[in-house]
Amino acid sequence: NAGVTQTPKFQVLKTGQSMTLQCAQDMNHEYMSWYRQDPGMGLRLIHYSVGAGITDQGEVPNGYNVSRSTTEDFPLRLLSAAPSQTSVYFCASSEGGTDTQYFGPGTRLTVL
Amino acid sequence: GNSVTQMEGPVTLSEEAFLTINCTYTATGYPSLFWYVQYPGEGLQLLLKATKADDKGSNKGFEATYRKETTSFHLEKGSVQVSDSAVYFCALSDWGGYQKVTFGIGTKLQVIP
């Protein structure tokens, strides 16, 4: 099993550009989440999904969109990148309930 | 709301020293508690977990006991190695209609030979 995969690993954007961070899992997990990791702030939840076709906002959703058309994929879209979105982004999945989360390797995004 | 408190560090220890990283939490329900570890350049991975009061989670020589009376889940290891150098995150997972996971800010551990 590949587990949770994320692409790209690194990305540099200019302010105002848009892009999609890809996330896929092959464990048939219902729950998927996107987090951002910033120094001194730990991980903060951006958006999450409890199954295909169902998404909801987390703690810091502004400037990001998500969709979940399949169980496997959960892309994160930056609509108009801003320097405040410079961060490391992690995708995670879990079977549900209060289970262990499985994390991808992360995408390091820099917005100039 | 739920919260997790842990020191940010860095914590610097010599090899074979005893490690304690404190974690306290606030939760309205009966959460599961986790320690995740992040090695440089990687994503987080589960180190250990406990799902109810007085449970002890253990893995790779690390231990933590779920203490409901003190709302704590402190991480301990008797003898650290250089390879334990990483960032350690305490987290709680609660159910409020969906899985809600709250992370601490992470404690950076550096072990020197």
The answer to whether the CB atoms of B44 and A40 lie below 8 A apart is no
Residue carrying structure tokens 């109810």: B52
Q: Which of A83, A100, A87 is nearest to A43 (CA)?
A: A87
Measure in Å the smallest separation between the Cα of B43 and chain A Cα atoms: 4
The answer to whether the CB atoms of A98 and B104 lie below 8 A apart is no
In one-letter notation, the amino acid at residue B24 is: T
Measure in Å the smallest separation between the Cα of B51 and chain A Cα atoms: 9
pLDDT tier, B2 (very low <50, low <70, confident <90, very high otherwise): confident
The partner residues of B44 in beta bridges, in order of sequence, read: B38
* Category of B54 on φ-ψ map: left (φ > 0), alpha (ψ -120 to 50) or beta: left
Q: Which of B49, B55, B67, B62 is nearest to B21 (CA)?
A: B62
Q: How far is CA A66 from the centre of its chain?
A: 8
pLDDT tens-place string over residues B29-47: 789 999 999 998 889 999 9
Phi and psi of B21, rounded to 5°? -120, 120
Residue B96 pLDDT = 62
- Partner-chain residue, chosen from B42, B46, B95, that has the shortest CB–CB distance to A97: B95
The answer to whether the CB atoms of B95 and A50 lie below 8 A apart is no
* Rounded Cα distance, A55 and A53, in Å: 7
**Both structure tokens of B22:** 């404190």
Residue A107 pLDDT = 96
The verdict on B107 touching A (C-beta cutoff 8 Å) is no
pLDDT tens-place string over residues A58-107: 889 999 999 999 999 999 999 999 999 999 999 999 987 557 889 999 99
The answer to whether the CB atoms of B98 and A56 lie below 8 A apart is yes
pLDDT tier, A3 (very low <50, low <70, confident <90, very high otherwise): very high
What is the separation, in whole angstroms, between the first and last Cα of chain A? 36
